Structures are given as structure tokens and as C-alpha cells.
Amino acid sequence: MEGGEKRIYDVIIIGGGPAGLTAGLYTSRSRLKTLLIENGLLGGQMTTTEVIENYPGFPEGVTGDELSRLMEEQAKRFGLEVIPEYVVEVKVEGAKKIVKTEEGSYFSQALIVCTGTEYRKLGVPGEKEFAGKGVSYCATCDGAFFQDNQIVVVGGGDSALTEALYLTKFGKAVTIIHRRDALRGTKIYQERVFTHPKINLLWNSVIQEIKGDSTVKSIVVRNVKTGEVTEHPMDGVFLFVGLSPRTQFLRGLVDMDEEGYIITDGNGQTSVKGIFAAGDCRRKLVRQIATAVGDGATAACSTEKYLELKE
């Protein structure tokens, strides 16, 4: 992109998940010159979800790919500009917001942060070494590589349960390992897991090590109550042990909680005037596509009001 004037916008949105795409739809429809920066696939974690059953308007469910495509198409229809770059820093000079990427700098009067979350690492020996060689954080991305294999899923929330159910399409057997004696996921997913003939549960347990040669061959498991350590043959290890916000590039600029989630008011306003946050990167109770969409709309409307009052 040549010429500094082409890098100046009314609004810059960082992150292209459901919150970012919704915010972009609203600001673009309001005829605000808007740039959305996303270094991955538009749609965010939606794109790795096989079937979304709880988003209003799709009684039979919708694939993550399809919902992402529809949101992208709708936002771009009103003139949203999208670039695939990685944001490394945000600076504020007076009312001006400067967004630095690996490719250059972009300028705006307002900023909406919609960077979402990423899967938390387990932090055990073998996890890093076997990433992409049997260790995965996305069942829809990698499940097909484990046809008729032994698969383990670590976690007890919605992500772990839905991904375990999806992996039964491929694996010979799927074992869910959970450090507690009760699951945290939505009841309907628990019911499906408990009644599925291919799924086994290993309670009160944690993975201590992932072992193999060129690929994963086994896992070492410790029972947190008895201390017993056992080794289990395994071909695939899918980890869903929580989420961390993608907000490292904003540390020291806006207020965050101890986990790194951005603190906002009810209108999406952060501690810095003109910087708003929406979606899963924001501190809130519920992280769902529907709430991300609502956040995106709220932050966009707040941004429009902010710009109007500045004039």
C-alpha cells in the first residue's frame, strides 16, 4: 500500500472474528472509512467449528465456514477494507491511534480491538515437540489424519466435548481426560458424550508427558487423587484446556484483568478514550458467537458516537 494518506482511516478494527466482522459491518454502513486487520482466517475460531447449533436464525445449525463466509460477505458489501497483517503494537498520540504491523503503520481516530482468544498450552514435556505430529488444538483441522486411531481429548468444557464428539467420526476410540470428576460443558453435550459408544472418560487425571518418536505414540497420565501414574498407547492428543486472550500487544496501554482480558464499560469503551474492545478478548461472563456479535455492534455504535462528539 503506497502513500501515507491511504493508511489513514476513521476506524481500525483489529481481529476478524464475529465481533470484528460485525463491528466492520456497522461502521462501514455508517460510512466511516474502516480497515479491518486480521492475520489469520476471517471468522476466527468459528472457521474451525464443524456445526454451530446455538446461533439464532439457523434452526438446523450452520457450519463455521459458512457462517464466517456470510458474515465476511455482508461486511465487505458495505465497503469494509480487510488486510492480512500481524499487529505488533498500538500507540496513542493525542487523539490519533497508530497501529503498527509487521508491514507498516496505519492511523485512525478510533480503534476497536476484537482479537479474541487462543487455546492455552498444557505445558508438559512432549507437547511442543509433537505439535503437528500428533498434538493438535483443532479437531476439524486435523481429525481426518487420525482415521481408526486411538485419540485422547483433554478438557471438560464445551470445546473439549464438541471436539471429542466430532473426532468419533475418525478415531477407533476417543478418551476424554479431565482433571475433575465432573464435566463443565453444556448439558446437551454431556448427554451426547456419556451415551456415545466410542467415547471413554478418564476422571481426576492429567497428562504428565507426551511420548513418541517421529509422531505421538503414548501419553503418561497421573491420577490427581491417588497419585498413580500410568502410560497409555495413543496416536492423537487434542488439547482444550482453556483460553487466553490475544492482547499482549496492548499491555501497558489499556486496563486489563490479571488474565489479560481487556476491561471495558457496558459500551465497549476501554480505559483509553477512542479505544474500544469487543468479543472474547473483553472481560465478560459469556463467550459465545452471539455475544461477540452483540459486542461488535455495541462497540461500533459507541465508536460512531465518539467520532461524532469529536467533530
Run means of pLDDT, 10 residues per run, the chain, 311 residues: 67 97 98 96 87 91 94 95 96 95 95 94 94 91 93 94 95 96 94 97 97 96 97 96 93 95 96 97 92 97 94 65
**Topology of 121-239 in CATH?**
FAD/NAD(P)-binding domain (3.50.50)
252: left (phi over 0), alpha (psi -120 to 50) or beta: left
Cα 197 from Cα 132, distance rounded (Å): 28
The domain 4-118+243-310 belongs to what CATH superfamily?
A: FAD/NAD(P)-binding domain (3.50.50.60)
Cα 38 from Cα 35, distance rounded (Å): 10
Q: Is 142 a catalytic residue?
A: yes
Q: Where in the chain is the domain with CATH 3.50.50.60?
A: 4-118+243-310, 121-239
Which of 10, 65, 138, 301 is flagged as catalytic?
Answer: 138
Residue 80 in contact with residue 53, Cβ under 8 Å? no
**Taking the model in full, what pTM does it have?**
0.82
Cα 282 from Cα 302, distance rounded (Å): 15
Q: Considering only CA atoms, give the Rg of the chain.
A: 21
Which of 114, 142, 158, 295 is flagged as catalytic?
Answer: 142
Q: Is 141 a catalytic residue?
A: yes
Q: Given this model, what pLDDT does residue 311 score?
A: 65
DSSP code at position 118: E
Residue ranges in the chain assigned as alpha helix (H):
18-29, 64-77, 139-142, 158-167, 187-195, 289-310
Q: Given this model, what pLDDT does residue 165 score?
A: 96
Closest to 106 measured CA to CA, from 94, 98, 114? 98
Closest to 10 measured CA to CA, from 28, 1, 20? 28
Cα 37 from Cα 152, distance rounded (Å): 35
Which of 141, 255, 257, 265 is flagged as catalytic?
Answer: 141
Q: Given this model, what pLDDT does residue 6 score?
A: 64
Cα 192 from Cα 176, distance rounded (Å): 13
Q: Given this model, what pLDDT does residue 140 score?
A: 83
CA dihedral 244, 248, 253, 259 (to 10 degrees): 30
Q: Which helix (H) or strand (E) is 50 found in, with range?
A: none
